[in-house]
Amino acid sequence: MRRVVGTVAAATTVALAAACGSGGSGDDTASDGTVTLEFAQWWGAELPAGEFDKIVNDFTAQNPNIKIKLLSAPYASTKQQLITGAASKTLPDVVGLDGAWVNDFAKQGAITDLSKLMADAKYDAGQLASQVQLEGKTYMIPVVNFVYPLFVNKDLLTKAGVAEVPATRSQFLDAAKKISATGGDVKGWVLPLDTAVPNGVQNDVMSWLWASGGSMLTGGKPNLTSPQVKSVVEYVKSLNDAGAIAPGSLTMKEQDKVEKFSNGQVGMMIDSLAHINLIKKNKPDLKFEVAALPAEDGYTGKRGIPYASWGIGISDSTEHKAEAFKFVSYLLSKETNAKLSTIANGFPGNKNAKPDFSDSDPLFKTAFDIYQQGYPANEFVGLPKSEDLMRSFAEQLQLVLTGKTSVDDALAKSQESWSSVIG
């Protein structure tokens, strides 16, 4: 997910704090029946100036009885304010959501059941690319998705004598070995496993599982000792044993991974599509392409692709749930969702919407084709304490890669740790 650090006026943050104190209630209905909805999010801070306002203004022009008060702040500020508001059940009417917050917010009774609102509005949920649910109820809908495909350095592949971008695990292992054998400090793959920021477990490890249609859960409970999860860990271990992974994995963060790829030190990485423009800006001569994540040999089904989202939810304390959902459905309408995903360089939450790539790098179109052929996959979304789950798994995986424990023992301990949180 793009979390761009920007400068936002102090008044905006103060307004957000005040909104979290009001809970989207109070004197928000005018004498003529006009309703004002507060919408707290970090999206406006990450988009080109004024672009999000235009989209919101189009809604209010079509719905003059509903006004939207945008509360835009950087991601970190929004997160802190919403966590505070959720704990006291005083969230603004509509909220931007990170999937990692959903479980806690829902259990606190801070965000409402969107399934009921969709049913009341006779909304066709079949047009949605995904929904974040707990116990069969939807609490968050991804509005724009930012996916993590495979990035490949074309020059390093050619130098290693690899004719085609790997499409299977065996092909990827072979390519990673050959790239590593070209000499110098070049390696085939890069794996960030720093436990301080453990999202490498989500983006760089479990992505192998999802790419082959696998799951780390069964009935919402951990299933880390399954043959599918075991095969992923054994596969990552085989890459490590072959010397095909860039050194320093145990303390490497995502930004280090991107830097190594940009500098031509690794041939392949799994990374956010949002980094395409960054890489090309810093290294304009680097020749690379994006592709679907390699699947297990023999797998022919749809491939899951890891993603992060600009999610949306509605406060359970708002007195204007119907109006709030009308705004949510507008953002997820085919035309509006295509427009929003285009300016965000992301992919639509509406399956029928298509971004306009005419002014974008061609790699975005390639990635969108990959996205349409597969499905968005991120099982950490909606789990309680998801970052802690990633961290405990990373700790066990580190022991496997350093030869201090077996794959079976690591997965058994991870299963026990996760079950104490999820179970």
Indicate if the pLDDT at residue 78 is higher than 90.
Answer: yes
Residue for token digits 């292992």? 173
389 or 24, higher pLDDT: 389
Assigned CATH topology for domain 10-146+307-376: D-Maltodextrin-Binding Protein; domain 2 (3.40.190)
Alpha carbon distance 90, 392 (integer Å): 32
Are 19 and 43 within 8 A, CB to CB?
no
Residue 310: pLDDT band (50, 70, 90) is very high
Indicate if the pLDDT at residue 10 is higher than 60.
Answer: no
Is the C-alpha dihedral spanning 159, 163, 164, 167 positive or negative?
negative
pTM: 0.79
pLDDT for 231 equals 98
Where does the chain hold its CATH 3.40.190.10 domain(s)?
10-146+307-376, 150-305+384-422
Q: Give pLDDT tens digits for 333-368.
A: 999 999 999 998 888 999 999 999 888 889 999 998
Residue 13: pLDDT band (50, 70, 90) is very low
Average pLDDT, the chain: 91
Q: Is 222 helix (H, G, I), strand (E, B) or coil?
A: strand
Q: HSE-up of 106 (CA within 13 Å, CB side)? A: 24
Mean pLDDT of 303-332: 96
Alpha carbon distance 335, 349 (integer Å): 12
Q: Give pLDDT tens digits for 231-269.
A: 999 999 999 999 999 999 999 998 899 999 999 999 999
150-305+384-422 CATH pick, 2.40.10.480, 3.40.50.2300, 3.40.470.10, 3.40.190.10: 3.40.190.10
pLDDT for 8 equals 36
